[in-house]
Structure 1
């Protein structure tokens, strides 16, 4: 029996849907707004470009490692199922708890709010309307995900295609028409306010690369998950790396380094306006809003499926484990997470802060998963287990992921200790919930 049929899902999504979810979830607004901050933090254009490349290498190593973990743990539920299988139910539960209860509503509210802010600025609306525009966006994407899952997958393909257009334009314009060539600029010429920190620049890029692992949550809905899931991760991450590095190089070719830093969030807009005039900047703003909605859709696709898997295992309320009769989507889980995000949107301005803190614990679970590939190989060594994908350059590749993830964790502890501790407290708050469901089961 197909994995999707065992869990009640319709297994009819292909590679295009998986790729679109990976690319669409990761590429939001960061690629358009982070160029100046990464350059200034790195201290020089060469260091800035290398930060995006190193961040990409770490992300690719992580993707290749998780692709093998997914091949060795062929279950619905994604990251939750992986750590549950490797380390036991408590670790698996805390993985899902941290992402579904803490991270998911906060990050959905954060993305919706940011898209709403861009919309209000674009339409010259009163900023007091921002939170209500954010609510409309969340309701819109939630509604899409209550329909047949092919609708959400199609929306992912559409928004991903649209967001790749300005990326290609930025790369080509910088390569063929850029005259500034900021690559040779020294650190002193970039900024006199900071000496530069290559490590912190890498950290910023790793946050920009985050989100690709959520494709594992739709494994049960793929027609051929053993082939398409690892391909989606590897090809998707490679595409994202090319996009990020290509846009960075294009911007560095088009504008002087000091101009990029002084323009801040508007650096990419300046390049597009140089190529297409004022109308180009307006079109880019629309595309970024669409890009954010695509990212929002990716989160809304992935997190309810993790909640559904946990409810199926008896560790979340039973109603979250229901699939609709006709469309076979986790409607109850989708509505619960969507409404929680709306509550955060309307009641607090701290969604960004909550999601940033939660990323710290997400990376802890990433590192555990990277270590898990060694455990799984040893555990399955003599079992005659056939694996459809193995991490190339093993053990070097998972070690790169472990080192990169450890760097994120240590850097966060050094730079935001209170936020990291708060994040850990929110995760550990799930322990009594786990014990309750364990005793109940």
Structure 2
């Protein structure tokens, strides 16, 4: 049995720390591009994504009050739907959702390190591997220290976001760039892939809050602590993201943002702080990415363990074992590490054009449409099963979460790569049936 070792602030830092990683930095320009350079449309996309997260967090907070075993979302689906469906969710998360996003985070940390030292070529990938291995060693040797790193990195990562937000908004109002960006639509590049695609990008930036529920078996007084962490953490994230986006469009003209792409944050930092200040800010961003990577690995390493203690998945007797010294699910952690390595190779192949017809398999967004489809099913089950709740709690809150999730799913289905994304996601989800043990 996993020990109860994490308190409120570690749990809050899991929610905030996992969500605020690289997504807010390298998706801000993508959202603006998808919005056709229209700042107001992009801001609306951020707000719709926020609605999905905040009201989704309120739903899962109520679930956390009622169901507690190991791996939150699996517990909730098990309590409201069925053991088989809950198992398939856990399988999907363990096979593709956690490790794929973790691989992208390792790359993002390596990418910003390359920017910091002005390196190119394979330096990014070497650093990505080093960061991933380092975080795994930290989690395996000392889960308590890993939790403390989660708190520290969460505090550190708020620094660049708030600096850019505050200074950018004031500067933008002073020099007129913020008002100008809001009053016009850039014509640089294409006309945008649509509002739904912009919301999908925002969903990736907001994604990860549910991962905090994977450690519910290790949270002290989880039924009270986890709901507080989910709601408080979600509100903090939304406020910070909106202010950060306003700060960016207050510092830099829209055309420049669209041209610079993922380098926008570096340009913004140099505009305000100069070269040295920008370097310091980049270090903060690297720590931000590593904090998110730590949270993903912390949660993802429990995936197969949470299935194994239910007698499910591949070799439950092996994956349910805990290290006698560290209380870490050893085999589950190793499996998660191997999967992240595989997805890091896939991400590498994308950038090297090694897939047929130079196809780009975007593993950062690939599983999101299906995971939000799963949320929709849970929200509907919630409205049907939670008969003791008030009308607002039972119907209004999950309906708002449902609407946000529907837009995210629509965004995923609107992508040119929808057949590949959905095909892979559904295949992985259903492949879990091969290892489902009937009781």
| Distance in 2 between residues matched to 1:198 and 1:181, nearest whole Å | 23
The verdict on how the C-alpha distance between 1:353 and 1:199 changes in structure 2, with shifts beyond 3 A counting, is closer
Residue 14 in 1 paired to residue 7 in 2?
yes
2:109 alignment partner in structure 1 = 115
User: 1:371 aligns to what?
Assistant: 380
The answer to whether the 8 Å contact 1:148/1:328 transfers is: no
Q: Which of 79, 83, 92 pairs up with 1:89?
A: 83
| 8 A contact 1:78–1:306 mirrored in 2 | no
Structure 2 partner of 1:423: 425
Question: What's the CA shift for 1:303?
Answer: 1.7
Change (3 A) 1:186 1:337: closer
Q: Is the 8 A contact 2:150 2:291 kept in 1?
A: yes
Matched, 1:154 2:155: no
Match of 2:356 in 1: none
State the SS of the aligned residue for 2:141.
coil
8 A Cα contact 2:22 2:105, kept in partner = no
**Cα shift at 1:231:** 0.9
- CA displacement at 1:116 relative to structure 2: 2.0
Following the alignment from structure 1 to structure 2, what is the Cα–Cα distance between the partners of residues 258 and 120?
25
In terms of mean alpha carbon deviation, does 176-185 or 294-303 score higher? 176-185
Q: Deviations over 1:39-71 (max 9, x none)?
A: 232242222222212221221111111111221
Task: Note closer, same or farther for the CA distance 1:170–1:354 as it changes in structure 2 (3 Å cut).
Answer: closer
The CA deviation at 1:261 is 2.4
How many angstroms does 1:85 deviate by?
Answer: 2.3
Structure 1 residue 233: deviation in Å?
A: 0.6
TM-superposition CA deviations, 1:320-379 (whole Å, max 9, x none): 11122233222321122113322443576358634432222211222122223223313x
Shift of 1:405: 1.4
Q: Distance in 1 between matches of 2:182 and 2:229?
A: 39
Unaligned runs of 5+ in 2: 351-360
Q: Which residue number in structure 2 is paired with residue 328 of structure 1?
A: 327
Structure 1 match to 2:299: 302
In the TM superposition, 1:363-402 aligns within 5 A as: 363-378=372-387, 381=388, 393-402=393-402
Q: Distance in 1 between matches of 2:263 and 2:343?
A: 28
The 2-side partners of 1:73 and 1:161 are apart by 30
Deviates more, 1:105-114 or 1:418-427: 105-114
Query: Residue 132 of structure 1 aligns with which residue?
Result: 126
- Tell me which residue corresponds to 1:202: 199
- Matched ranges for 1:41-440 at <5 A: 41-43=34-36, 44-125=38-119, 127-178=121-172, 179-185=175-181, 189-196=185-192, 197-316=194-313, 317=315, 318-346=317-345, 349=348, 353-378=362-387, 381=388, 393-415=393-415, 416-418=417-419, 419-434=421-436, 437-438=437-438
CA offsets, 1:398-438, max 9 Å, x none?
Answer: 1111122122223322323312122212211111221xx22
1:254-312 Cα shifts (integer Å, max 9, x gaps): 22323332332232222221221011221222222211111111111112223212100
Query: Is 1:27 matched with 2:20?
Result: yes
Change (3 A) 1:346 1:267: closer
Asked whether the 8 Å contact 2:199–2:408 carries over to 1, the reply is no
Residues 227 and 166 (structure 1 numbering): CA distance in 2 closer, same or farther, change over 3 Å? same
Q: Distance in 1 between matches of 2:290 and 2:47?
A: 26
Pairwise CA RMSD:
2.3
Work out the CA distance in 2 between the residues paired with 1:268 and 1:148: 33
Contact 1:67-1:233 at 8 Å conserved across structures? yes
Q: Is the CA contact 2:94–2:304 (under 8 Å) kept in the aligned structure 1?
A: yes
* CA contact 2:368–2:412 (8 Å) conserved in 1: no
Partners of 1:346 and 1:414 in 2: how far apart?
27
Gapped regions of structure 1 (runs ≥ 5):
1-7, 382-386
Deviates more, 1:12-21 or 1:338-347: 338-347
Change beyond 3 A, Cα 1:413–1:40: closer
Q: What TM-score do you get using the length of structure 1 for normalisation? A: 0.88
Would the aligned equivalents of 2:188 and 2:258 in 1 still touch at CA under 8 Å?
no
TM-score, normalised relative to structure 2 = 0.89
Deviations 1:199-223 (A, max 9, x none): 3222221121011001111112111
